Structure 1
Amino acid sequence: MSVSAGIIKSLAECLGSIQQNPYPHVPNPPDCQKRASVALVLRVRPDYADSVTIASRHSSTEGNHGLPPKTLADFFAQAWVQKGDAEILFIKRAGRVGDRWSGHTALPGGKRDPPDVDDRAAAIRETKEEVGLDLSRSDCLYAGNLPERVVTTTWGKKGLMVLCPFMFILTSPTSPSLLLQPAEVAATHWVPLRALLSSSLRTRELVDVSSRFGKRDGPVLRYMLRFMLGKMMFSAVRLIPSESVFASSISGFIPDPQKNVTIFSGLARGSFGVPSSTTPSGPLLLWGLTLGIVADLLEMLPPHNAIELWQYPTFTSPDLRLLVYLFTYKLRQANARHLSDGTWPSQTAVDASTAAVAVSEAEPHQAKPNNIGVGGLGFSSRPSHTLSLMLSGYYERVNVAIAVFLVMRIAAAGGLGYYAFRTWKLWKR
């Protein structure tokens, strides 16, 4: 059996299981009223021989070639599906200054509006608005949901929203054309599951987080922190698309050689990735919240090692990285023990400004007011549940490591300055 055929077989089994055992609904915690939904859209690309046959049938005048399948079992029972290549649709968000996820690789979706009857309706509406894909059409099947996440800020623990992922699968061998909304989407990419499961494409995303520490203290302190702290490193997957569509009408899609880069555009590039989100150049990376959502699906597929996609965030500066390692050692060891015991229920997603824990058990009603954890859920009295929140306590220890690091750097700079002053006085004598 080929790699693609094996993935198709496993995908059919896991989607069938999810439909029969859907993940629980997560209500909003007391400090967060917003909800958002995303659509994980799947398709199967036929192999070359089947593509030629399908194209010839569509160009003929034979008329109706059969009704679309009504169930997932009927869809996966087709010969061309079993020999095809499963793919996921990703979007690259348009660059917008001030947008927390500007320029990120993501899944189509957005916040739930009052007219939406439920969270799934919000995902369907947002997908149609952003990429012109109607998920309510007859040749698209609802394939189940993934664990919902309560998204919080990483540093302040402020609840932002409940994020609800829903899966859909296009059942036609020919996918509909996409119409990108240029104000929100810079590009769309179909990426094979084979690429997402490949260990050779796992990498790190480097992010400047100095603005998170020096936001209120002006640009001078921010640049000093950037110089001393370096960048934060987050787990990522390098994406290799099989098909891409770009919103070429976006300003900056074709770089202007006459346009000078100002300090403001440089800040935008460093903080939000605005220029990179409007150009096709550069690597396409999956990381942060979207990686956590996709990892929930990948963990159900062979070789079942999606947990390795997630690593604790750290810094590029070697001495700060060592301090973070030492200050978080006991926490990481305790979490690793619970992971090996099988008491770790779900993946944790994190980026430069947000963190989210996927909820895989119906416990959110036990959360107590004013006791909101890193994932937005109140901590249970059971130690295994508390430690299952992978980032619980991690950033507090990182803050201590940063404080010690800055004190050491300031002391070293002071000592060097004092030594230079003494040397100068001796030289004057």
Structure 2
Amino acid sequence: MDTPASQAGLSHFLHGVLSELYQHPSPHVPDPPSCKKRASVALIIRVRPTYNHWPTSSSIGDPSLPVKDRLDEFFSQPWVQNGDPEVLFIKRAARVGDRWTGHIALPGGKRDPEDTDDQAAAIREASEEIGLDLTTDDCIHVGNLPERWVTTSWGSVPLMVLCPFIFLTTRSDSPTLNLQPTEVASTHWIPFKALLSPSVRTVEHVDISQRFTKQSGFLARMAVRSLMGFMQFSAVRLLPSESQQCSSVPGFIPNEKTQPSFLQGLKSWCLSNQAESGERDRPLLLWGLTLGILTDFLDLFPPNDAVQLWKPPTFGVPDLRLIVSVLTYNLRKHNKEQLKAAGILKNTNLDDKLNALSATSDTVTHNQDQGEVGRTERSGSSGQTTDGHAYAVGIMLRGYYDRLRVAIYLFLAWRIALGSAAGFTAWRFFRRR
């Protein structure tokens, strides 16, 4: 069944979303007190022409016009109005020891000292990783999405501030990409209509045993995994309209002589060493941090349900899953109410939604009156800043990992009690015999 967006044409809604985001950029997020690292990613959008509405010229518009006028001019073209908007993702090269090895991501990386600002870091990283120049006349820097804190140890330790920037390429053909083999294994253009479809929603199973047994070996990890299973994260199965593989990546052409033995493969799987366990054959799944960024963006499109389709992480083991569900029920309900207050879980007007999100985020963080925060403060012209959790998925996860830790402790106590009861029963049985 077609969504309202697909019936009316996604390009029409994309035009409105980009115009609003340009006029009302997200505020600056300062570095956490204990971390001074920043990183940037580039959300690169294009409109692919359709068969029945092919462009008659390759005009890229007047680059001297203001951004708002350039957007109006671009989206006024018939081939754009009837085209398919797409976003560019990369699949990171598989590398041993890399926490993001083989993940689907947006082009980007850490900010270097020579970068003048966060936007410059996104532009430089896109040039280095995929060979795409985002400063040319056929590319429009539209704006940004909410900056956010990237954390580890289940939200307790900040790693960096991540800044997502939006760029629109006005070309009707595919831009030439030059993939860096040490960073990028492949690139994929994904249609918005596929990202918005509930039918491609799934889960990613992640082994978290190394988080509990960092200094332990194979047997300890196996024990933790057998007890707790895999962690489940919301994910989207990607359906590319166009892909480009980096043939210089090691392992692009499998070499039968270097295939690992059965025992080596089993050990690699048990230790979750993705860089050595057939990473190239894994499906394209968008999850984690990058999915959080896309959720903020996609929720601005009808039917405005991207946040509702996103689910907090949990576990696959039934009793642990039940404990997590019960222990986080009230918290999840409370956080959803915060999103409703922001207008995120309702089909509200986009302009009202953006203002409401800013107001609610500040209400949650600083206990301010929602009515005191308006458009001027959100635009950043007054220099106002916000914290690193003032975005949709960040609000959904407020306090969640703290409850998750408690759930794991309760689960371990439950399993110990259950095991003790089973052992005592067995002892009584054999003693009677």
Question: What letter matches 2:37 in structure 1?
Answer: K
Length, aligned pairs only: 389
Query: Match of 1:75?
Result: 74
Question: Aligned pair in 2 of structure 1 residues 166, 156: CA closer, same or farther (>3 Å)?
Answer: closer
How far is the alpha carbon of 1:126 from its aligned partner? 0.3
Native 8 Å contact 2:147 2:388 kept in 1 = no
Query: RMSD between aligned alpha carbons?
Result: 2.9
Query: Match of 2:35?
Result: 32
Q: TM-score, normalised by structure 2?
A: 0.82
How far is the alpha carbon of 1:90 from its aligned partner? 0.2
Kindly report which structure 2 residues correspond to 1:7-86, keeping only aligned pairs within 5 A, or say none: 7-51=10-54, 66=59, 68-70=61-63, 71-86=70-85
Query: Match of 1:260?
Result: 260
Query: Match of 1:373?
Result: none
1:68-91, Cα deviation, whole Å (9 max, x unpaired) = 343111111111111110000000
Question: What letter matches 2:307 in structure 1?
Answer: I
Alignment partner of 2:195: what SS? helix
Asked if 1:306 is matched to 2:293, the reply is: no
1:176-230, Cα deviation, whole Å (9 max, x unpaired) = 2211111011110000000001111111111111111122344322211100101
Asked if 1:393 is matched to 2:399, the reply is: yes
Structure 2 residue runs of 5 or longer lacking an equivalent are 64-69, 346-356, 367-385
Asked if 1:98 is matched to 2:91, the reply is: no
Native 8 Å contact 1:143 1:167 kept in 2 = yes
- 1:415 pairs, out of 386, 400, 421, with 421
Question: What letter matches 1:399 in structure 2?
Answer: R
Separation of aligned partners in 2, 1:205 and 1:158: 23
Alignment partner of 1:389: what SS? helix
Deviates more, 1:310-319 or 1:413-422: 413-422
How far is the alpha carbon of 1:426 from its aligned partner? 3.5
Question: Aligned pair in 2 of structure 1 residues 144, 229: CA closer, same or farther (>3 Å)?
Answer: same
Separation of aligned partners in 2, 1:90 and 1:155: 25
Separation of aligned partners in 2, 1:134 and 1:425: 77
How far is the alpha carbon of 1:263 from its aligned partner? 6.0
Deviates more, 1:113-122 or 1:65-74: 65-74
Deviates more, 1:135-144 or 1:248-257: 248-257
Separation of aligned partners in 1, 2:170 and 2:267: 44
Native 8 Å contact 1:7 1:86 kept in 2 = yes
Query: Match of 1:61?
Result: none
How far is the alpha carbon of 1:278 from its aligned partner? 4.9
Question: Aligned pair in 2 of structure 1 residues 162, 177: CA closer, same or farther (>3 Å)?
Answer: same
Question: Aligned pair in 2 of structure 1 residues 92, 276: CA closer, same or farther (>3 Å)?
Answer: farther
Q: TM-score, normalised by structure 1?
A: 0.83
Kindly report which structure 2 residues correspond to 1:127-206, keeping only aligned pairs within 5 A, or say none: 127-155=126-154, 157-206=156-205
Native 8 Å contact 1:229 1:317 kept in 2 = yes
Question: What letter matches 1:68 in structure 2?
Answer: G
Native 8 Å contact 2:148 2:388 kept in 1 = no
Question: Aligned pair in 2 of structure 1 residues 146, 401: CA closer, same or farther (>3 Å)?
Answer: same
Native 8 Å contact 1:180 1:186 kept in 2 = yes
Query: Match of 1:112?
Result: 111
Question: What letter matches 2:239 in structure 1?
Answer: I
Native 8 Å contact 2:49 2:84 kept in 1 = yes
Question: Aligned pair in 2 of structure 1 residues 340, 267: CA closer, same or farther (>3 Å)?
Answer: farther
How far is the alpha carbon of 1:307 from its aligned partner? 0.8
Structure 1 residue runs of 5 or longer lacking an equivalent are 58-64, 346-358, 368-375
